[in-house]
Amino acid sequence: MGLLIYLNGTFVPEEQATVSVFDHGLLYGDGVFEGIRSYNCNVFKLKEHLERLKASAKYIMLDIPLSLDELEEAVIQTLQKNQLKDAYIRLVITRGKGDLGLAPWKCPQPTVFIIADKIALYPRDFYEKGLDIVTASTRRLSSAAFSTKAKTLNYLNNIMAKIEGKNAGALEALMLSQEGYVLECTGDNIFIFNNKELITPPEHTGILKGITRDSVIELAREKGYRVAERPLTLFDIYTADECFLTGTAAEVIPVVKVDARPIADGSPGPHTRSLIKEFQKITTELGTKYEL
Ligand code: PMP
């Protein structure tokens, strides 16, 4: 049986969950979204995701036609209708249907949809052996052009880098800023350990402020690690003791090679392993619980 999709206030079978070809989300990537996960009937950090969605929408001056409570309810209902304990949830709000011009004020009604699907897990191997990643030549969009803090439907910049990664046989690609600082991967934030200090690029340098990133920073501090948010260069990555990525889909995943250079001895490090375990614990604890 197919999925039931939340679309503008009603639930429809996936075959009927369609949007207009005049929707500006499709024509111009004009919209915002969130990727969220539920773990054993707990939507991990749902409130934080909804707050980020609200901020992204505010930044592009898109009025969300629902309150945060109503959005929360819609997410939970989507999970319940589809009887999903563990799921990947995609919540999207586009500018809606307009004409062929750019003008967002010609789109009277935003389109809101929520898809809750079974989670497609990365193969277990990657968590045990670690990922090989490469640096993309495509630089991350400058935040002078557009804030990367907003999670919008404009992902072409990241898609270009993802293609470069694939062409080099890597699952993820590392993106640098215009100045050459390390920022993040196409869909994940990056961390290194050096002398037991956990370091990640600061949010103002032009990254998406990941919810998983923030959770890992908090966890690491609780576990007594020194944590710093400061600019990183490729030198820092190549010479790090450990490296890992964080994201809603990937969770916490070790990186063992960057640009064909092994990180330390080329296997996942002990601190990364310990954070992976700690992170797994909180996925069912922190968030919004629901019943099926
Ligand atoms: N950076 C980018 C560019 C992303 O698309 C994502 C995934 N949404 C992340 C980082 C990780 O963010 P989060 O932990 O909130 O999923």
Relative to the CA of 49, which ligand 1 atom is closest?
A: 15
155: its two tokens: 């992902």
Find all residues with CB under 8 Å of 62, minimum gap 6, and list them: 30, 31, 32, 93, 95, 104, 110
Angstrom distance (rounded) from CA 72 to CA 249: 20
Q: Is the CB of 49 inside a 6 Å radius of any atom of ligand 1?
A: no
207 CA from centroid of ligand 1 (Å): 9
257: its two tokens: 């090679």
pLDDT given for residue 123 in this prediction: 83
Angstrom distance (rounded) from CA 46 to CA 100: 35
Bridge partner residues of 42 (DSSP)? 289
pLDDT given for residue 119 in this prediction: 84
As a residue count, the chain comes to 292
pLDDT given for residue 121 in this prediction: 73
182: its two tokens: 């390390």
Angstrom distance (rounded) from CA 137 to CA 99: 36
Which residue numbers are catalytic?
Answer: 151
Relative to the CA of 158, which ligand 1 atom is closest?
A: 3
- Go through the domains of the chain in sequence order and give each one's CATH number: 4-117 (3.30.470.10), 125-282 (3.20.10.10)
Per-residue pLDDT of the chain (292 residues; tens, 9 = 90+): 699 999 999 999 999 999 999 999 999 999 999 999 999 999 999 999 999 999 999 999 999 999 999 999 999 999 999 999 999 999 999 999 999 999 999 999 999 999 999 887 778 888 999 999 999 999 999 988 889 999 999 999 999 999 999 999 999 999 999 999 999 999 999 999 999 999 999 999 999 999 999 999 999 999 999 999 999 999 999 999 999 999 999 999 999 999 999 999 999 999 999 999 999 999 999 999 999 9
35 CA from centroid of ligand 1 (Å): 8
- Nearest CA residue ID for atom 2, ligand 1: 187
> If we measure between CA atoms, which residue out of 275, 250, 119, 279 comes closest to residue 189?
250
209 CA from centroid of ligand 1 (Å): 7
* Model pTM score: 0.95
Relative to the CA of 248, which ligand 1 atom is closest?
A: 16
